[in-house]
């Protein structure tokens, strides 16, 4: 089922005279025929209408006629946006997210909304109200999460480009598990306007593609200042090829020592190949690693508790056609509308923010976050990029991990990047037992060009598929 398609391949079809309508129709059929449950909604009418405009010469741009799938946490005007939850099952936004506006302006065609963990809370897509997605390499295994449907859509070839969101690894994890490229941009580079919030201070929208250059192209298009998002910065992004033969690499010891030996093997194979190409590496320590998961989950769940308080069954979303007092109605709507994992995180976040515990947990987590930022800054005084496995294991079987704490541990190598607001990319680095292993490349703030050039070298010299 692994059959990714690049932007250049689609452009070649257009150059040979194929109509955009026919090409997009073919992708829509792939979605309908898929066994992987990658999509929640298919925007067939909208996609074909845009294809017709392109065929008539009414639209152009750098993504002209390229099918793009969108994580169902990103608002699309007139297209159902559920966030993988029953509570938003029939919600249709009246506006486009900033990133959607950018894609449409460049002629990209939104073909559908991809499956995801409910409200981005998960590592596998198993918490989705619409059922789990499956991994294109092995349908019995998870594709990662929370942007699992987006990564799987790229890997199976039902889309060419995709957008996910990354709060603690939700772009990089599925990219690693599905053998594709996923970018978590520097916090502030891409507007979050129109992204249904989980944890505002941590999350970023990021591209997923079959190769580094396609992912970089999509990042070029969605990056930039947006006045509707006060956290977005006055910066753009342009991918430029550069010589990385003398790049100084730090291998984060704590991120590689305790991972599965199969993942270790492929990671060191990739690192040794980079060394053969002239890059120098040293093992380095990130002593704050012991505290990153605790700090992350306190902060993320606290922000989730606040953000998800808006779902009350009154203004929009799931509601109950019965008269009852407000407290009973509010509780019943949320009990029926939210899944178990979302409820768990709301409860834990509310507890951390409650009187008597705010200072003990939330404020302490903020202090730890500052120490993590300082630790990364110190490492980047000596190294250009930091490398580590993206995920600690190979893709595991659907239903294999039932304990929430064991599932949270899957995020150990990805959450430090979000706490520090840094850019990172997951690029395929090898196969073990027929399953992909992702290499995570972490960079300095707004140094996406550096990490993508290193990723390109991994793609060309190590992955070579």
- Burial of 318-342, coded b for 16+ CB within 10 Å and e otherwise, reads beeeeeeeeeebbeebbeebbbebb
- Count CA atoms closer than 13 A to 93's CA, side-chain side: 19
71 is catalytic: yes
Marked catalytic residue, from 158, 162, 170, 191: 170
Residue 185: which residues within 8 A CB-CB, separation 6 or more? 204, 205, 206, 219, 223, 237, 423, 448
Q: What is the DSSP code (8-state) at residue 268?
A: H
Residue bearing tokens 């309908």: 32
Instruction: Give the neighbor-by-neighbor strand order of the sheet with 39-42.
Output: 39-42, 109-114, 67-71, 161-166, 204-209, 181-184, 424-432, 435-443, 385-389, 248-252, 280-284
Marked catalytic residue, from 30, 41, 71, 426: 71
- Burial of 257-292, coded b for 16+ CB within 10 Å and e otherwise, reads eebeebbbebbeebbebbeeeebebeebebebbebb
- Taking the C-alpha atoms of residue 342 and residue 84, their distance in angstroms, rounded to an integer, is 11
Residue bearing tokens 């979605």: 31
Cα 262 to the center of its chain, rounded Å: 24
Give me the count of residues in the chain: 465
146 is catalytic: yes
- Taking the C-alpha atoms of residue 7 and residue 3, their distance in angstroms, rounded to an integer, is 14
CB distance 428 to 208 below 8 Å: no
- Taking the C-alpha atoms of residue 174 and residue 133, their distance in angstroms, rounded to an integer, is 11
- Taking the C-alpha atoms of residue 408 and residue 423, their distance in angstroms, rounded to an integer, is 21
- Taking the C-alpha atoms of residue 163 and residue 36, their distance in angstroms, rounded to an integer, is 18
Marked catalytic residue, from 133, 146, 302, 305: 146
Residue 450: which residues within 8 A CB-CB, separation 6 or more? 242, 244, 247, 384, 385, 443, 444
406 is catalytic: no
Q: Catalytic positions, please?
A: 71, 146, 170
């Amino acid at each position: 089922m692994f059959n990714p398609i690049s932007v250049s391949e689609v452009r070649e079809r257009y150059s040979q005279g194929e109509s955009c309508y026919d090409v997009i129709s073919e992708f829509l059929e792939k979605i309908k025929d898929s066994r992987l449950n990658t999509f929640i909604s298919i925007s067939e009418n909208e996609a074909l209408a845009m294809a017709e405009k392109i065929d008539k010469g009414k639209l152009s741009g750098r993504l002209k006629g390229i099918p793009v799938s969108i994580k169902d946490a990103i608002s699309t005007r007139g297209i159902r946006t559920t966030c993988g939850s029953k509570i938003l099952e029939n919600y249709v936004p009246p506006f486009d997210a900033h990133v959607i506006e950018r894609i449409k302006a460049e002629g990209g065609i939104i073909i559908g909304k991809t499956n995801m963990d409910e409200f981005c809370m998960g590592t596998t897509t198993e918490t989705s109200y619409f059922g789990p997605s499956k991994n294109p390499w092995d349908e019995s295994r998870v594709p990662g999460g929370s942007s699992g449907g987006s990564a799987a859509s790229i890997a199976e070839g039902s889309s060419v480009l995709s957008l996910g969101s990354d709060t603690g690894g939700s772009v990089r994890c599925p990219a690693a598990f599905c053998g594709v490229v996923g970018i978590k941009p520097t916090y502030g580079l891409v507007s979050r306007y129109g992204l249904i919030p989980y944890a505002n201070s941590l999350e970023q929208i990021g591209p997923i593609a079959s190769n580094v250059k396609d992912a970089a192209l999509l990042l070029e298009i969605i990056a930039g200042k947006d006045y509707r998002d006060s956290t977005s910065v006055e910066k753009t992004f342009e991918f430029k090829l550069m010589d990385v033969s003398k790049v100084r690499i730090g291998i984060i010891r704590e991120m590689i020592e305790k991972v599965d030996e199969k993942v270790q093997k492929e990671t060191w194979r990739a690192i040794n190949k980079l060394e053969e190409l002239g890059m120098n590496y040293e093992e380095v320590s990130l002593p704050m690693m012991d505290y990153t998961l605790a700090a992350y989950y306190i902060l993320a769940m606290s922000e989730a508790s606040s953000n998800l308080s808006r779902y009350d069954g009154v203004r929009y979303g799931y509601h109950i056609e019965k008269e009852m007092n407000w407290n009973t109605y509010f509780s019943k709507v949320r009990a029926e509308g939210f899944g178990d994992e979302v409820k768990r995180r709301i409860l834990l976040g509310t507890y951390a923010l409650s009187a008597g515990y705010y200072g003990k947990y939330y404020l302490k987590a903020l202090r730890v976050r500052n120490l993590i930022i300082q630790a990364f800054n110190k490492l980047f005084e000596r190294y250009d990029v930091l490398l580590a496995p993206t995920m600690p294991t190979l893709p595991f079987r659907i239903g294999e991990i039932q304990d929430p704490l064991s599932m949270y541990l899957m995020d150990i190598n990805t959450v430090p990047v979000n706490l520090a607001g840094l850019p990172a990319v997951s690029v395929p680095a090898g196969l073990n037992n027929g399953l992909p292993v992702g290499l995570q490349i972490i960079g300095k703030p707004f140094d996406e060009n550096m990490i993508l050039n290193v990723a390109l070298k991994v793609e060309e010299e190590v992955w070579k598929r």
